[in-house]
Amino acid sequence: MPKDDQLWTYSASELATGFGRGDYTPIDVLESVIARMEDINPRINAVVTTDLDTARVAAKASAQRWRNGCPSGALDGVPMTVKDNVPVAGMRATWGSELFSTYVPSEDELCVARLRAAGAVIVGKTNCPELTVQGYTDNAIFGLTRNPFDLDLTPGGSSGGAVAAVAAGICPIAIATDGGGSIRRPASYTGLIGMKPSRGRVARADGFAAILHDCEVVGPIARTVADVRRVMEIIGRPHFRDPMSVLLADEAYEAGRPKPCRILYLPEFGSSPVDRQIADSVARAADLLSSLGHRVEAGAVPFDIDALGMAWTTISQTGLTWLLKRHFSAGSRVGTDIQAMYEAGSRLRAEQYYEALAMLAELKSTLAQLYEAYDMIMTPSAAAMPWPAGEAFPNIIDDQPVGPRGHAIFTGFVNMAGCAAINLPSVPNARGMPIGFQLVGPVGADKLLCDIGEQYESAFRPPRIWPLR
């Protein structure tokens, strides 16, 4: 039987096995992760709101179900966190903005309600940048979140709090959102598995307003693919309140051995720079996938990155402007970066927004043709290594100047097309800082990505490094 103070190191799958054998209880696990959080969180600022009384009640009820031999599911009693832009009943949900600093929802967002019904124990909310539109994690309410592998560096964003919590051992699973790479890039900076489900795979209701068209999805972050799979089995189902979700057939997530796949490997996007440490690490991951029997072919990006970047800017600025105009005093209550985006969005014309949507439609058509020849696409998850925690983005990548989205060049197209994607760890750099890559499948390829990810994970077998031990 493990020491109670080490239970925070266990994956969700390991915890469920132990619950079933009676080695320990959900109460033991919760107290272990609370102790870890109290020790570590002051240094990384990952979890910004907690409701430990409710969590203890949930853990006690879960322990009773396990004693009775009738757990509610594979995640019954497993502690997890939820990103601060996903409402949890009775817990403050700020979206990282003073606009919502006092908002306490009375209902769970649908995915949280499903997890709670399955017995998951919600420990707290994780930090995010204001309105989740930036690639690092800081805001005026809660301040800066730091990367547990190097406290001087960012864990990325907008799910920086979520990945920092999982990587540091505060919880085995975090629920987050991905609107343009906000799960995959931070997961790559912290050595984690990050799933960006297909558009419509995770039904949504009772959440904040959508400001990124239909590009943002809810997905899990975990230390193992098996844990990601367990979450998707619960939240990855249609619901009548989200018509988009009904368009995707219900999918089983049981593990399966994948067939050899045809993988288009895109090590770079045109002339956009990639950190050499990342390029070398991801190339080694491509070799490993080849050794597993997959056909990995290097190629060139098949769409116009600059045009898509313009489309993304138009969509995000327009959505942000629409949201802020619903709050008459918004200008004095948002940060300067958000105010600048609002002002830029206010100058956009309707035809520019329509042109952006036309670009998205063209991208979907291009990828539909590509997926006739390939099963998936492989790219780095991020173009830059983590940068100083208080800076919004790196200005230089591989000795070349870049703009605000230079580090994020690889991920946005996935959201614009609605594809499924997963971040997987590759070989860390010489300092031990994590690096990751993404596999991108067509809409509906969520289970295949989990299967490939688990196969890769089994062959790669990265050691679990606990930062701040």
Which residues are paired to 174 by β-bridges? 81, 221
> Which pair of tokens denotes residue 270?
């045109």
Q: Residue 158, preceding bond cis, omega within 30 degrees? A: yes
Cα 217 to Cα 196, 199, 452, distances in angstroms = 7, 7, 21
Q: Which of 409, 421, 448, 460 is nearest to 285 (CA)?
A: 460
> Which pair of tokens denotes residue 180?
């343009």
Measured CA to CA, the distance from residue 158 to residue 83 in angstroms comes to 9
Query: Could you tell me if 111 and 118 are in contact, meaning their C-beta atoms sit under 8 angstroms apart?
Result: no
Measured CA to CA, the distance from residue 261 to residue 248 in angstroms comes to 22
Measured CA to CA, the distance from residue 283 to residue 223 in angstroms comes to 22
Report angle CA 326, 329, 335 to the nearest 5 degrees: 100
Q: Which stretch of DSSP H or E encloses residue 75?
A: none
User: Which one of 11, 97, 159, 182 is the catalytic residue?
Assistant: 182
Measured CA to CA, the distance from residue 240 to residue 203 in angstroms comes to 9
Task: Identify whether 182 is a catalytic site residue.
Answer: yes
Alpha helices in 87-192 (DSSP H): 110-117, 160-168, 184-189
User: Which one of 13, 32, 62, 83 is the catalytic residue?
Assistant: 83
Task: Identify whether 188 is a catalytic site residue.
Answer: no
Task: Identify whether 158 is a catalytic site residue.
Answer: yes
User: Which one of 32, 158, 381, 426 is the catalytic residue?
Assistant: 158
Query: Could you tell me if 218 and 183 are in contact, meaning their C-beta atoms sit under 8 angstroms apart?
Result: no
In the chain, the amino acid numbered 104 is: V
| Cα of 235 vs its chain's centroid, Å | 14
- Give 3-state DSSP helix, strand, coil % of the chain, rounded to 5: 40, 15, 45
> Which position has the token pair 């760890």?
425
Q: What are phi and psi of 79, to 5 degrees?
A: -75, 145
Report angle CA 131, 133, 138 to the nearest 5 degrees: 70
Which residues are paired to 401 by β-bridges? 396
Positions annotated as catalytic residues are 83, 158, 182
